[in-house]
Amino acid sequence: MSEIELTNPDAEPDERALESATRPGTLAEFTGQARVSDQLGLVLDAARHREAVPDHVLLSGPPGLGKTTLAMIIAAELGAPIRISSGPAIQHAGDLAAILSGLVEGEVFFLDEIHRMSRPAEEMLYLAMEDFRVDVVVGKGPGATAIPIEIPRFTLVGATTRAGLLPGPLRDRFGFTAQLDYYADEDLERIVNRSAVLLTVEVRPDAAREIASRSRGTPRIANRLLRRVRDYAQVRADGLVTRDVARAALELYEVDELGLDRLDRAVLDAVCRRFGGGPVGLSTLAISVGEEAETVEEVAEPFLVREGFLMRTPRGRVATGAAWRHLGLTAPAGARGAVDDPPDLFS
């Protein structure tokens, strides 16, 4: 795994199996997102008391925060089976009809990246969520006939990283919507300690704190960094993860004390050194760091903007004063964004 992938919040295909080893199985074991956990627990408890199928659940938020984990926890808490699919895999209404007709009563249907589902399948899902039936069209042209098929009552758990792309009618059919936020370092530290036990690696408290502080507020990244630090400790130390071992390992993988990796620093360096702090366009910036524009926009920029190192403006990307300081540089006079205080709009 490259240094870019190490801090990429998206999961690699071969990483899913590794994640299952550290994934919590109940809400009681789920760390962080306290508000969401409490609200979701109430929804599930109420459904159990009524002996009814819970409302459909929409989980939104950046990748790596636990949407898939929560979907599996919902099924486990209900004692129900779970069927997993994704929006890109459902390109025809028939694909969705085949899945829905195969569900059993009370089953949880987890649909990841629900915003990427095709429009015909989306329209079929409206009816399935509301009336628990699908209309299958038989024949073509004037002789086509819609045959209604009843389906068992189920709970749809939709996950999306871009809730704004979901049409209103689909959002309105979810009885409970949860917005997942980035984790505090204290929560990530608990996650690292729990994962260390499951991975049978001894991690000192200050080492767990060091890993957590460089994890960009994302549990997936925290667990990924832990695995790389574990490898370093086993090969170049005595297997014990101390703070010095964690720092040495993360330095080797070019993840600095604020969680910035090689690509992040390359982007900031290019904006500051080559373009005088900006503004600079995305395509020009991507060429200057030798990466695809999509990689810069989706992997590096969200973290840099969230941490206050970079600003997006109508004319391009602009480095802030924090970016200049992090690189140990002095912003030239008149550089846009180099002053942390907002401009006086009324002067």
Q: Is 313 a catalytic residue?
A: no
* 224 noted as active-site residue: no
From 23, 216, 220, 317, active-site residue: 220
Catalytic entry in 7, 31, 69, 112? 112
219: preceding bond cis by omega (within 30 degrees): no
* From 161, 224, 230, 264, the catalytic residue: 161
Active site residue 140: no
Of these residues, 23, 67, 173, 262, which one is catalytic? 67
Catalytic residue selected from 31, 68, 69, 160: 68
List the catalytic residues.
Answer: 67-68, 112, 161, 220
